[in-house]
Amino acid sequence: MIYTAHRGASDTLPENTIVALAAAVDLGADYVEFDVRSTRDERLVVIHDERLERTTDGSGRVDEKTLHQLRPFDAGRWLGAEHAGRKIPTLNETLAVLKNTAPFIVDFKEEKPSLIEELVLSLRADDVLEKALVTSPHAGTLELLAADYADVPLAVPYKVAFSGVEPVAVSRLRPKLLLARDRDVDPSMIEAAHRAGLKLLVSLPRELEATAVALRTRELEMAAADGVMTSRVRLFLQKGLKVM
């Protein structure tokens, strides 16, 4: 099984912060996943939500703030006082930490062509394309990456690459990995992915308790899914050694 750390080791550490991503590397995750958005001044930062309230002490939309305005916000205290002082990292700061460590998946939340180009230039500049995969909730972003930036490896949502069990966009998007939400997965999808020569990684709900995560992962393994994405990777990994 492929074990991917969703927003880093974010079961006990503030999601999408450097400390959570570094901890996932230390645990031995096969991939470290994180989200990237743009600020108002088109700087790429690592944060999941469109708005700041859930994971920082700031307020408002990320794309309405400049990077300078984001810098003072605390991105750790929401999880506990012991995490106070963590900041929203930039993409470049994140790549500097990860570039010589684990493979990673960038969930790119933007659609604007100039921002897509900025992402690609950053990945190229840090020489990480051999270990990076890029995904996006926007099919248009993936289409543009596949068409104009063929050197960028993609992780594509199953429902974008397939219609039912037919791989309608696989030849065009050339994904290295397929992604699916747990609630959408059925055996026919796993079989279709494998017939296309691709692995399917299943994203588990973040609200699942540890016991449920372990049980569901075992069920997916028995169903021949290739891996899971979860905030609770430490259930399966211990200092680089898989324990399940």
pLDDT digits (tens, 9 = 90+) for 79-117: 999 999 999 999 999 999 999 999 999 999 999 999 999
3-state secondary structure of 61: strand
Residues of the chain under the 50 pLDDT cut: 239-241, 243-244
Q: Is there a catalytic annotation at residue 68?
A: no
Q: What is the pLDDT of residue 242?
A: 53
Find out whether 58 and 52 touch, Cβ atoms under 8 Å.
Answer: yes
Q: What is the pLDDT of residue 241?
A: 45
Taking the CA atoms of residue 185, residue 207, residue 76 and residue 117 in that order, the dihedral angle to the nearest 10 degrees is 20
What is the helix (H) or strand (E) element at residue 4, kind and residue range? strand 2-6
CA dist., res. 197 & res. 145, Å (int): 21
Q: What is the pLDDT of residue 244?
A: 42
Specify the DSSP class assigned to residue 91: H
Q: Which residue has tokens 């569901």?
A: 216
Q: What is the pLDDT of residue 79?
A: 96
Q: What is the pLDDT of residue 78?
A: 96
Domain boundaries along the sequence of the chain: 2-242
Q: What is the pLDDT of residue 239?
A: 47
Region of residue 8 (left: phi > 0; alpha: psi -120 to 50; beta: else): left
Tokens of 123: 């990945």
Q: What superfamily does domain 2-242 belong to in CATH?
A: Phosphatidylinositol (PI) phosphodiesterase (3.20.20.190)
Q: What is the pLDDT of residue 41?
A: 98
Find out whether 189 and 214 touch, Cβ atoms under 8 Å.
Answer: no
Nearest to 142 by CA among 102, 118, 183, 109: 109
Q: What is the pLDDT of residue 237?
A: 87
- Rounded to two decimals, the pTM is 0.96
